Amino acid sequence: MSKLARAPRRPAPLRPIGRRSSPGDQLRAQLRYRILAGELRRGDRLPPVRRLARFLRVNRNTVAQVYRRLEGEGFLATAGRRGTFVRRRSPLTPAFALLLDRVLAEAARGSLSAADLQTLLALRVRPRRGRLRLGFVECNTADLTYFRRLVEAEVGGAVRPILLDRLPRAARGCDLLITTFFHLEAVRRLTPDREVLGLVALPDFRTLEEVARLPRRARVALVCATEEGVRSKARSLRAVGLRRPRLRTATLAEEGALRRALAGAEVLLAAPRVIDRLRGRIPSGLRVIPFASVLSEGAVALLRERLAAADTAGSRRAGAGEVA
C-alpha cells in the first residue's frame, strides 16, 4: 500500500508547550496549526528536510522526525522523490468558521477559559496577557523592533526587547522569553533557568522554493535596511543553496554598494518595505522576489495557546488562594 493511500493514525495530542518542549514539538505544532487553518493547503509541497533544517538552523533529524509524525497523523504524505505534500484539507470552511464563532460566544457565556478550547479555537482566541512578563530576543535591532511589535499586538501589552548578545543579564525579571526559531537553541543555552518559546518566522514556503530554484549562475542582489539584516538573511539564503559570488548584498544606507548590486543583478531579494523605498531605482527587467520573514498563523496560535495556559494556571492558583 502506498504512503498516499495509507490510513492515518489518530493524531496524537500536542503536549503543552513549555520550558521542556523540544524544538521538534514546537515546529510540529506550528506546521499542524498552519494546515488546520488552511494556510498550508492540500497538495502544497513542503521544503525538503535538509533545506528547511538549514533555514531554521536546526538538526535535519528534527525536521525529518516532525515530517514523519505529521505523515503518520495524516497531515502530510510523501510521494517518493517528488517530495512531501500536505495531505489533509483544512476544516476551516466559512460555515465552520461561523460555528467556531458561536462556540466562542457560548464559551464566554459559560465562563470557560481559552485553555478549555483546543487547536482550532486557539487560532481564534486572543487570550489575556496574564501574569507573564515577556521578553523578545533577536540578534539585531531591526528584526527585534519588527517582531516585538508583532508580538505586542498579539498580547496587548509591552514586551521587553532583548538583544541576543545581552543575555543572560537582560532577561532578568522575564518569565517567558520569545524568539525566532533561528535563535531558539542559543537562547535556551544562555538562559537555562527561563522558559523559551521559539516561533517559526520565515518567508512563505513558495518563496523559499522560488529562491532555491533560481538558476545556478543567476546574479542575485540582497538588499536590507541594516547590515544586521543583511548578515541574517544572507545566512538563511546560504542555507537554501544560494551562495557567493552569485549573491551581492547591500543596505539602503550604502549608496555605492546599492547602485552596483542593482546594476549587476538579474534578481532582487528584499523585504516589501525595502522594495517600497527602492521604487524608481529598480532597473527595468529586474526580477523582484519579496523576501521577508513573518510570523505564521501557526506561530501566533502557539503563542496564544501558551498565554492562555498561563492565564488559566494563574486563575486556578488565585482561586485556590481564595478557597484557602
- Could you tell me if 197 and 226 lie in one domain? no
Least confident of 103-107, 265-269, 305-309: 305-309
Q: What residue has cell string 509524525?
A: 69
For residue 18, how many other CB atoms are within 10 A of its CB? Answer: 14
| pLDDT at residue 3 tops 70 | no
C-alpha cell at 151: 508580538
Q: What residue has cell string 486563575?
A: 315
> Residue 147 sits in which domain range?
124-201+295-323
In a domain, 114, yes or no: no
**What per-residue confidence (pLDDT) applies to 34?**
92
In a domain, 209, yes or no: yes
Regarding beta strands 134-138 and 160-163, do their DSSP bridges make them parallel or antiparallel, or are they unpaired? parallel
The pLDDT mean for the chain works out to 82
Q: Buried b / exposed e across 189-200, counting CB within 10 Å, b at 16+?
A: ebbeebbbbbbb
Q: How many domains does the chain have?
A: 2
**What per-residue confidence (pLDDT) applies to 319?**
45
Question: 164: domain CATH number?
Answer: 3.40.50.2300
**What per-residue confidence (pLDDT) applies to 298?**
82
**What per-residue confidence (pLDDT) applies to 5?**
39
Q: Which amino acid is at 115?
A: A
Per-residue pLDDT band for 311 (boundaries 50, 70, 90) equals low
* 216 vs 4 pLDDT, higher one: 216
Question: 281: domain CATH number?
Answer: 3.40.50
**What per-residue confidence (pLDDT) applies to 189?**
95
| pLDDT at residue 239 tops 90 | no
Burial grade of 204 (CB within 10 A; 0-12, 13-18, 19 or more): middle
- Could you tell me if 191 and 309 lie in one domain? yes
Query: Percent of the chain beyond pLDDT 70?
Result: 82
**What per-residue confidence (pLDDT) applies to 125?**
54
Could you tell me where the DSSP H helices lie in the chain? Answer: 23-37, 49-56, 60-72, 94-109, 119-122, 141-155, 184-190, 205-212, 227-239, 255-263, 272-277, 297-323
| pLDDT at residue 96 tops 60 | yes
**What per-residue confidence (pLDDT) applies to 130?**
56
